[in-house]
């Protein structure tokens, strides 16, 4: 039972890290796009 909980928590942490990295990438892309759009003016 403890092994299952440990596996689930590590699996969840892995998914959270993946989601965080995806959000960071999306935020950087949006910021870069905004910067390029304002740089053109």
pTM over 0.85: no
**Residue 13, helix vs strand vs coil:** helix
Residue 25: the pLDDT is: 98
Tens-place pLDDT, residues 24-38? 999 999 999 999 999
Q: Measure Cα distances from 36 to 9, 28, 29 in Å.
A: 40, 12, 10
Identify the residue whose tokens are 């935020």. 27
Instruction: Enumerate the domain spans of the chain.
Output: 1-40
CA distance 24 to 33: 14
Considering only residues 10 and 18, tell me which one the structure prediction assigns the higher pLDDT.
18
């Amino acid at each position: 039972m403890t092994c299952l909980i440990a596996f689930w928590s590590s699996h969840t942490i892995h998914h959270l890290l993946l989601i965080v990295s995806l959000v960071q990438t999306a935020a950087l892309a949006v910021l870069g796009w905004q910067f390029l759009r304002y740089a053109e003016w």
